[in-house]
Amino acid sequence: MTEPLLYLSTRGQSPAATISSAIAAGLAPDGGLYVPEALPRLDPGAFDPHGTLADTAATLLAPFFTGDPLAEALPAICREALDFDTPLRPMPRHDAHMLELFHGPTAAFKDVGARFLAACLRRLPRADERPLTILVATSGDTGAAVGAAFHRQPGVRVVILYPDGLVSPRQAHQLGCFDDNVQALRVQGRFDDCQRMVKAALNDAALQAERPLSSANSISLGRLLPQMSYYAHAALGWWHEHDSPLNLIIPTGNLGNALAALWVREIGLPIGEICLSCNANATLPEFFEGQDYRPREAVATVANAMDVGAPSNFERLRWTFPYAAELRAQTQAISVDDSTIRDTLSRHAREHGEVFCPHTATAMHLLDRLRSVGNSSPWTIVATAHPAKFESVVEPLVGHPVAVPPALAAMLERTASAEVMDADDEALKRWLREPAYA
Ligand SMILES: *Cc1c(COP(=O)(O)O)cnc(C)c1O
C-alpha cells in the first residue's frame, strides 16, 4: 500500500495524524489546525474534462486521502456531498462571470463543506458508543449548513452557537428550525466569542472525556478540502474553453473559502489572480497592505457571515506561505464598508436589474473598482450565498421582494427556537455537562 499522506498541526506540538483522524478531531490537540505535511501536486491533464463536479472532487481529493481507510469511499462521499451544481454564469454587462455557490440546501457555499464532513463522519468507525457532539460556531451560514447536513443522523448531536441579534431573521430561523438532534444557542456576544467558546470546550480534556466532542467549523479539514472542488472544477472548465487561468474575487471572512482557492492554485491547477473582498473587518486587508497581522474583535456589518476579526484559517495560510513577503505576494484584499455594500446593491439593481447577497456585493464592488481603473481582465466573482437569505438588508435596497429558493422556503415554514447563553466559555461547558443533555 502507498504511504499515507499525514497531517500536522500548524502549531507543531501534536503527533502526525491520518486524514480520517484529523477529520474526526477537527482541531489538533495542541490547539492548532491540521495541514497536510506537504500539499500534493496535480496535473490538469489528470482530470476528466467531461466529468461532473463530484468527479472533479474525487480526482482532486484522492491524493489527500492516499493510504487512508476513507480513500475507497471517496468517490461516493463526493457524489453524496456534491449533488448540486456550482455553475459559472456569464455576466455580460461586466465582461465577467459569477461562480454561484448557493444552490445547496441552505443556499450558501457552506453546504459543500458541511455535507462532505457529514458524509465522512458517517463512514468513520467510532470506538465510543456515546453520541458525538458536534459544536459549531456560526456567524450565520455555517450553522444552518451543518445542521442540515447532520439532521437526524444517528449517533450525532449538533450544537450551534450564534451571536444573538447579529444574524438575519431568516438565518436565525434556519438555525433554530431543526429540532431532533440539532440545537441552537443564541450567544450574548459576537461570532468571535462563539468561536472562542467552541475552542475552549474542544480543548478541555476532562469535558471531552465526559462528552465526546468534535467541531464543524471551517477549521475542520473535512470542510476546507471539499471547498477546493468547485474552484478546481470551474478553473478546469475555463481552461479547456479559454486556454487561460481563472481569476477570482472571493468574499472573505474566516478565510476558509479563499484558502481553498489558494490551495487549488498551489497544487498546480489553472487559477490566476485571487483577490479577497472583506467587509469593514479589515484584519486581512491591512495585513496584505503591509501592516502587521493584528487580530481583533469583529465589528457587526450587513455582510454578517464575514464578521470576523481574527480569521482562524490565517494559521493555515501562514503555514502554506511561511515567508511574509511570499504570503503578501499571493493575493490582495480590500475592505468594503457597509455604506459601500448598500450602495453597490442598490446601484446594480437600479442599473442592471442584478441582485446579490451583501457578501457577494463586496466582490462586485471590487470588480467595479478594477473596471473603473481600466482593468479589463476576465474576472470571476464568487457568489457565496443567495440574496433571499438576507432579505432584511437586500429587499429595501433593491426595491422589490427576492424570490426564495424552494429548499430555503421549506425551512422557513418550520417553527424555530434557540436557547440563550452568555458569551462565557464556562457557561457552554456547564451546559454541555448537564445530564439532561446526555
Ligand atoms: C461564510 C461566508 C463567507 C466567508 O467565508 P470564509 O470561508 O469564512 O472566508 C462569505 N459569504 C457568505 C455568504 C458566507 O456564508
- Give the C-alpha separation, 224 to 217, whole Å: 9
In this prediction, residue 378 carries a pLDDT of: 95
Distance, first Cα to last Cα, the chain: 41
Alpha carbon of 235 to ligand 1 centroid (Å) = 20
Is there a contact between 82 and 54 (Cβ–Cβ < 8 Å)?
yes
Is there a contact between 296 and 283 (Cβ–Cβ < 8 Å)?
yes
- Its pTM stands at 0.94
In this prediction, residue 337 carries a pLDDT of: 98
In this prediction, residue 31 carries a pLDDT of: 86
How many Cβ atoms are within 10 Å of 106's Cβ, its own excluded? Answer: 29
Give the residue extent of every domain in the chain: 85-109+222-408
The CATH label, of 3.40.50.2300, 2.40.30.10, 3.40.50.1100, 2.30.30.30, for the domain at 85-109+222-408 is 3.40.50.1100
In this prediction, residue 436 carries a pLDDT of: 56
In this prediction, residue 339 carries a pLDDT of: 98
Alpha carbon of 298 to ligand 1 centroid (Å) = 14
Mutate to test the pocket of ligand 1, among 141, 228, 284 (most ligand atoms within 8 A of CB): 141
In this prediction, residue 1 carries a pLDDT of: 55
- What sign does the dihedral 71-76-81-83 (CA atoms) show? positive
C-alpha cell at 76: 461516493
Mutate to test the pocket of ligand 1, among 166, 356, 359 (most ligand atoms within 8 A of CB): 359
Find, among 153, 110, 108, the residue nearest to 134 by Cα.
153
- In order along its 438 residues, the chain shows pLDDT tens digits of 578 899 999 999 999 999 999 998 888 989 899 999 999 999 999 999 999 999 999 999 999 999 999 999 999 999 999 999 999 999 999 999 999 999 999 999 999 999 999 999 999 887 788 888 999 999 878 999 999 999 999 889 999 999 999 888 899 999 999 988 999 999 999 888 998 999 899 889 999 999 998 888 768 899 999 999 999 999 999 999 999 999 999 999 999 999 999 999 999 999 999 999 999 999 999 999 999 999 998 898 999 999 989 998 999 999 999 999 999 999 999 999 999 999 999 999 999 999 999 999 999 999 999 999 999 999 999 999 999 999 999 999 999 999 999 989 999 999 999 999 999 999 999 999 987 554
Mutate to test the pocket of ligand 1, among 111, 257, 365 (most ligand atoms within 8 A of CB): 257
- Give the C-alpha separation, 37 to 331, whole Å: 23
Q: Which helix (H) or strand (E) holds 388?
A: none
Q: How many helices (H) and strands (E) does the chain have?
A: 18, 13
For residue 93, with 0-12 CB atoms within 10 Å meaning exposed, 13-18 middle and 19 or more buried, which class applies? exposed
- Give the C-alpha separation, 307 to 282, whole Å: 10
Alpha carbon of 140 to ligand 1 centroid (Å) = 9
Give the CA angle between residues 222, 140, 333 to the nearest 5°: 75
- Give the C-alpha separation, 413 to 402, whole Å: 17
